[in-house]
Amino acid sequence: MSALLPLTMPDCAPVRGPVLRERGQREVFCGLTGIIWLHRKVQDAFFLVVGSRTCAHLLQSAAGVMVFAEPRFATAIIEERDLAGMVDCNAELDRVVDRLLARRPDIKLLFLVGSCPSEVIKLDLSRAAQRLSAKHAGATRVLNYSGSGIETTFTEGEDACLAALVPELAATAPGAAPELMIVGALPDVVEDQFLRLFAQLGIETVRSFPARRAGAMPPVGPNTRFLLAQPFLGETARALEDRGAVRLDALFPFGAEGTSNWLHAAAVAFGVDAMHFRAVIAPGRERAKRAIAHARDRLEGKRIFFLPDSQLELPLARFLAQELGMVPLEVGTPYLHRAHMAQELALLPAGTVISEGQDVDRQLDRVRAARPDLTVCGLGLANPLEAEGLTTKWAIELVFSPIHGFDQAGDLADLFARPLRRRDVLKV
């Protein structure tokens, strides 16, 4: 078997060129959107947004057809009379929560999710959560986090949610054997694949955070080693580190290389024999490479431009450049966590512009000037850019689709190849 590509990275990434930082209009979702996938993951949790009609409208627009399937999220819409006085507002919230929990006694974990309006009027949701937790003790735990647009961008909603859960996690026994924690909500199918791989590697205790049920959240302590499965979990990582857990630095598990490197970081930390490691991951790694080979023909040499959306942009650009031969022109990210991204940044081709934040009109000027072969952007921009003759890939799909790990590498590559293929097949 051919030698694996570099599995160990230089400790310190080479210093890249300056990051383009922009302020201006941002065409991004707020953190409330995270609810859409988080509520599917944690099956007995309910997400109650305390916000305005706009918040409810956003969730409805983002959740689309899911809104009708008895979803486990809702909005307590602040009305004129709630704005009159704070005391009234808290009483109202208690009333809404009581009514909700009476209707849905199966709910074990309730998140009060802060929004822009609730943050601006300084409604103290953390105190409300404590009060309601005490009131519903034994039946439902009530936590809070903010998914407001003024504080969070899209996937940062998941970060805020998980970070709020960390203090609630049980402590592991002192001196217990090391345990591995996979951090970040993954589709169940992907999570199961990773758990199988870690089991084959011989890592005994592997837990996912968040767990699928509120009562099954993993414990944490100094013996916890954690791998971030998602690049947008800065606050969660910090909270876990505050409780003594140790982050394993790795690439994010996209494509054959990213996944190998990610698994390898755990293998090293848990003292897995190198030969054994290679033997275990070889079949998946080969499958991944085979699966992306046909997309490579279409994508190699194509120039790609990422607008900021989810913080997945850098790892995805690395995957597309490293494994599919694409040329990233500009990789925009809403927020750049330098430490977590160090290895990813090091692997991006020289000359790639990294931008943090957004001034959407200026950025679109750059897109139009560069005329990339593929532009990754939100749905508010995709059709308008297509109408200008630019091929686009809408970014949200990357958050909702299973894209991590070996066996999704082909699907991931195809997400980028499909718009280009479609552009070629259409004769209208």
Dihedral of alpha carbons 343, 347, 348, 349, sign: positive
Binding mask 106-125 for another protein (x = CB under 8 A): ----------xx-xxx----
> How many CA atoms are closer than 13 Å to the CA of 207, on its beta-carbon side?
18
27 belongs to the binding site for another protein (CB under 8 A) = yes
Residue 173 binding another protein, by CB under 8 A: no
Q: What is the DSSP string of 289-332?
A: HHHHHHHHHHHTT-EEEEPSSSS-HHHHHHHHHHHH--EEEEEE
Our finding on whether 389 is near another protein (CB under 8 A) is: no
Binding string, residues 211-240; x marks residues near another protein by CB under 8 A: ------------------------------
> Cα(first)–Cα(last) distance of the chain, in Å?
47
Q: How many CB atoms lie within 10 A of CB 418?
A: 13
Q: Using DSSP bridges, classify how beta strands 374-377 and 303-306 pair: parallel, antiparallel or unpaired.
A: parallel
Stretch that binds another protein, among 80-88, 186-194, 205-213, 216-224 (CB under 8 A): 80-88
Query: Using CB under 8 A, which of 386, 407, 411, 414 touches another protein?
Result: 386
The residue among 90 and 172 lying less far from another protein, judged by its C-beta, is: 90
* One of 7, 9, 34, 153 touching another protein (CB under 8 A): 153
Contact string (CB under 8 A) for another protein, positions 258-297, x = contact: ----------------------------------------
Cβ contact 207:223 at 8 Å: no
Q: Using the rule CB under 8 A, is 392 a contact of another protein? A: no
Applying CB under 8 A, among 9, 38, 45, 93 the residue interacting with another protein is 93
Residue from the set 42, 58, 292, 320 that interacts with another protein by CB under 8 A: 58
What number of chain residues touch another protein (CB under 8 A)?
62
Cα 229 from chain centroid?
8
Query: How many C-beta atoms surround the C-beta of residue 121 within 10 A?
Result: 13
Amino acid at 275: M
The residue among 77 and 211 lying less far from another protein, judged by its C-beta, is: 77
**Is residue 176 involved in binding another protein (CB under 8 A)?**
no
DSSP state, residue 153:
B
Span of 88-96, 188-196, 203-211, 214-222 interacting with another protein by CB under 8 A: 88-96
C-alpha Rg value of the chain to the nearest Å: 22
Distance CA 358, CA 381 (A): 14
316 near another protein (CB under 8 A): no
Residues in the chain, how many? 428
Identify residues 35-54 at the interface with another protein (CB under 8 A).
Answer: 50, 52-54
Residue 93 main-chain phi, psi, to 5 deg:
-60, -45
Q: What is the DSSP letter of 81?
A: G
238 Cβ partners below 8 Å, 6+ apart? 163
C-beta separation of 43 from 188 below 8 A: no
Chosen residue from 7, 9, 28, 45 binding another protein by CB under 8 A = 28
Q: Is 86 in the site for another protein (CB under 8 A)?
A: no
Cα(78)–Cα(291) distance, integer angstroms? 50
Which positions touch another protein (CB under 8 A)? 24-33, 50, 52-54, 56-58, 60-62, 64-65, 67-68, 71, 73-80, 82-83, 89, 92-93, 95-96, 99-100, 116-117, 119-121, 148-151, 153, 361, 378-384, 386-387
